[in-house]
């Protein structure tokens, strides 16, 4: 119970960090270090066959994307500080992703809030990286996804368009490929969905999605957009081998039924599934409150089996757990990359597939663990 409450507090702090800073200003608004990969473990995505359509939209993205949550952040990642060294590492992560053919990058307006000491907005960094890359390679195409923060004082469809235009200004882009509602609002959700539809009709986005939506909220959003002839492309939720709540709460089944792509954030459980952390060496910062020495002790049998399977394919543990998610079908994982080594390693999750026996065995071992806690709004 203590672990559950602690985790909820951590995740609420993530969501409210930006909100509290914005309120203050008004009175005055999913990567971890991973082992480097041997060259033979990486894969280069280089054809349309290596892409999938997001839901019923016309937008095609790579089967695996990159999460930019850590870029510029000082509230959850980077040991609460940001410097030139971390900036250069994030830039190499972006370039390595593009070099591997992984061109789907997910960010959000609240990542790297400009009100955090020393932080740089993740959208600003992504826009800068894209601009610098295009100067060298004008033909490069990056599928950009970002998110609207359903802050309590944001009301109605116009707030969605205003926030989107602010995001576009930070990234210096005229449109984005995917715009998502980051979490359901306390109120005003129908207006937010209308705002997504308006964004499509005004040509500001190619596709729209939601994030952290329950089955009921997902179905409601799907039907509301459908009445305007607009497909709901995706629902981005916490999903990994040790966090399978989307399978249990009806979200995964609803996505499959409705033709909505499930985008999986924290697909390697913020590093817990990579084998890097042990009971003697738990993660630092907020993650250490979730992945405790006690939990990591219980996790070891699963970690050992993941490693064994990886060795049989000449793959890393990270690549195995990402492949496990891809094998669930209609799932696009977006692990967070802090540096080039991580980005290159993620590419090695593509181009092969675990056997059904291995998939089932890993799920069985994971089922013996106490569930970790995700973003609380999923249960609303």
pLDDT in tens, 228-265: 999 999 999 999 999 999 999 999 999 999 999 999 99
From edge to edge, which strands make up the β-sheet containing 66-67?
66-67, 104-106, 143-148, 176-181, 205-211, 232-238, 261-265, 331-333
What's the pLDDT score for residue 118?
57
What percent of the chain stands above pLDDT 90? Answer: 70
Global pTM value: 0.87
What percent of the chain stands above pLDDT 70? Answer: 82
Query: Per-residue pLDDT for 315 more than 50?
Result: yes
What's the pLDDT score for residue 19?
39
Confidence at 39, pLDDT banded by 50, 70, 90: very low
The catalytic site residues sit at 111
**Lowest-confidence segment of 68-82, 108-122, 225-239, 311-325 by average pLDDT:** 68-82
Phi and psi (nearest 5°) for 262? -90, 115
What's the pLDDT score for residue 336?
94
**Six-digit token pair at 166?**
């602010």
Answer for the pair 50, 90: CB distance below 8 angstroms, yes or no: no
What's the pLDDT score for residue 216?
96
Answer for the pair 199, 205: CB distance below 8 angstroms, yes or no: yes
What's the pLDDT score for residue 32?
37
Average pLDDT over residues 211-228: 97
Round to whole Å and give the CA distance between 260 and 231.
Answer: 8
Burial 160-181 (b: 16+ CB within 10 A, else e): bbebbeebbebbebeebbbbbb
Round to whole Å and give the CA distance between 171 and 144.
Answer: 10
309 Cβ contact list (under 8 Å, min separation 6): 315, 320, 354, 358, 362
């Amino acid at each position: 119970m203590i672990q559950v409450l602690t985790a909820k507090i951590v995740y609420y702090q993530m969501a409210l960090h930006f909100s509290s800073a914005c309120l203050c200003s008004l009175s005055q608004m999913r990567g971890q270090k991973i082992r480097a990969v041997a060259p033979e473990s990486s894969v280069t995505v280089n054809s349309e066959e290596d892409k999938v359509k997001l839901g019923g939209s016309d937008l095609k993205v790579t089967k695996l994307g990159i999460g930019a949550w850590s870029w510029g952040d000082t509230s959850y990642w980077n040991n609460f500080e940001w410097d030139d060294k971390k900036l250069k590492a994030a830039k190499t992560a972006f370039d390595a992703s593009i070099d591997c053919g992984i061109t789907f990058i997910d960010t959000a307006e609240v990542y790297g809030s400009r009100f955090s000491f020393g932080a740089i907005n993740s959208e600003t960094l992504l826009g800068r990286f894209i601009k610098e890359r295009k100067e060298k390679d004008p033909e490069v195409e990056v599928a950009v996804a970002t998110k609207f923060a359903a802050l309590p004082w944001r009301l109605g469809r116009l707030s969605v368009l205003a926030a989107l235009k602010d995001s576009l200004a930070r990234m210096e882009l005229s449109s984005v490929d995917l715009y998502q509602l980051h979490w359901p609002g306390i109120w005003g959700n129908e207006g937010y969905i209308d705002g997504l539809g308006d964004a499509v009709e005004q040509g500001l986005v190619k596709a729209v999605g939601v994030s952290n939506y329950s089955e009921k909220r997902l179905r409601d959003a799907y039907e509301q957009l459908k009445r305007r002839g607009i497909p709901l492309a995706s629902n981005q939720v916490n999903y990994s081998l040790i966090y399978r709540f989307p399978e249990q709460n009806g979200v995964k089944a609803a996505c499959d039924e409705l033709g909505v792509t499930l985008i999986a954030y924290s697909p390697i459980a913020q590093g817990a599934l990579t084998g890097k952390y042990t009971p003697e060496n738990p993660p630092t910062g907020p993650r250490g409150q979730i992945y405790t020495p006690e939990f990591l002790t219980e996790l070891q049998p699963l970690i050992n089996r993941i490693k064994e399977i990886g060795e049989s394919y000449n793959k890393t543990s990270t690549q195995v757990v990402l492949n496990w998610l891809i094998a669930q079908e209609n799932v696009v994982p977006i692990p967070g990359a802090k540096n080039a080594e991580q980005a290159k390693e993620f590419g090695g999750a593509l181009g092969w597939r675990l056997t059904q026996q291995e998939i089932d065995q890993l799920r069985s071992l994971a089922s013996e663990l106490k569930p970790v806690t995700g973003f609380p709004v999923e249960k609303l």
